[in-house]
Amino acid sequence: METLVCVKPGLFRYEVRDRPELKAGHTLLKIKRIGICGTDLHAFEGTQPYFQYPRILGHELAGEIVDGDDMMDFSIGEQVTFIPYFNCGQCLACKNGGSNYCENIQVCGVHVDGGMAEYLLVPSKTLLHGQGLDLDELALVEPLAIGAHGVKRAGVRPGEFVLVIGAGPIGLGTMEFARIAGAKVIALDINETRLAFCREALNVNYTINAHSADVPAQLKKITGGHLPQVVIDATGNLKAINDAFAYLAHGGRYVLIGLQKGDIHFNHPEFHKREGTLMSSRNATRDDFELVIGSIKNGSINPLMYITHQVKFNEVKDSFSDWLLPETNVIKAMVALED
């Protein structure tokens, strides 16, 4: 089978490898769609934590079941997606329901080879029924689940102001689920095209360019002088993360979905006087995935509007570096594998 390997930062190579052999408790998928996410882009840049090269990237996936063992009620030929965080089931986190932050987690396309390949073997327990969603929609379930989990972590309540920093696919999904939770959403980004997308496609009422003057003052004007009760970072940018401590209301919750390699720095007295809460949001749970699938089915979310670039598998190597450039205005690139 053909694969695309990230050999080292900045270098992809197509390689022919053997098709995976079926083993107990696993299902073989023929990959049909691959969504390109921030993790893939950061891995290509060399800025992704938890990463070793060479690696086959790709974990936003949709495929067709070719063969399987212990598939429960799944069928050969069924179109599916899956939860790409392979947990051990034995550690303290797993025993407490935290499969998304398992101590021994193996994230597909990060710790182990992912889906930029014609076939992929996955644990059968991670499968999710397609429920009538098309392949592009199925490939977008995972990034939306990341946003849904971040909103759940924040405990967003109706009427609260929620500032989402970063209007990429993860940030957009976070905004969607904050809206569904009844929040008043504020989008912050440096890209005016993406901010316009928030206003026009997602009906986000408040947008701020992070490069504009006095962001805290603008936030106070929007929120009636109190700042947002919830701040969620979806950038993974160290400066953005550090700056956002100044955007948090007294008693507020700050959730980090975005991930980067550096150390966070903030003024302790300023954070302390707010009695602020800082927390991370890692991956997502099966409940988050099911919520996303249900939200797409009932029309609460239309993920297809995020897709701005579509390419075939044999075009990825030559196209990938362009997706890092702001002027290409990529929100979501989708890769199609032909039969």
What pLDDT does residue 261 have?
84
**pLDDT for 4-63, tens place per residue?**
999 999 999 999 999 999 999 999 999 999 999 988 998 999 888 888 999 999 999 999
Q: Can you tell me the mean pLDDT for 195-218? A: 96
Per-residue pLDDT band for 161 (boundaries 50, 70, 90) equals: very high
Q: Can you tell me the mean pLDDT for 70-94? A: 96
Q: What percent of the chain has pLDDT over 90?
A: 93
Q: Can you tell me the mean pLDDT for 133-162? A: 98
- Asked if pLDDT for residue 338 goes beyond 80, the answer is no
Per-residue pLDDT band for 339 (boundaries 50, 70, 90) equals: low
Of the listed ranges 39-43, 115-119, 130-134, 302-306, the least confidently predicted one is 39-43
Asked if residue 198 lies in contact with residue 204, where contact means CB atoms within 8 angstroms, the answer is: yes
Task: Name the token pair of 10.
Answer: 């900045």
Per-residue pLDDT band for 74 (boundaries 50, 70, 90) equals: very high
Q: Can you tell me the mean pLDDT for 204-218? A: 95
- Region at 227 (left for phi over 0; alpha for psi -120 to 50; beta for the rest): left
Tell me the domain boundaries of the chain.
2-139+302-336, 151-280
d(CA 190, CA 167): 9
Chain-centroid distance, C-alpha 166 = 12
Q: Can you tell me the mean pLDDT for 52-80? A: 96
d(CA 66, CA 81): 13
Asked if residue 97 lies in contact with residue 156, where contact means CB atoms within 8 angstroms, the answer is: no
Task: Give residues with Cβ within 8 angstroms of 135, minimum separation 6.
Answer: 32, 33, 62, 79
Task: Name the token pair of 289.
Answer: 């995935």
- What are φ and ψ of residue 81, in 5° steps? -125, -175
Top-tier CATH class for 2-139+302-336: alpha beta
Any idea which residue has 């994230």 for tokens? 107
Query: What is the chain's mean pLDDT, rounded?
Result: 96
d(CA 190, CA 329): 12
Q: Can you tell me the mean pLDDT for 221-241? A: 96
pTM of the model: 0.95
CA contacts within 13 A on the Cβ side of 234: 32
What pLDDT does residue 113 have?
96
If one looks up domain 151-280 in CATH, what number appears? 3.40.50.720
β-pairing, 277-280 with 2-8? unpaired
d(CA 284, CA 273): 31
* Single-letter code of the amino acid located at 316: V
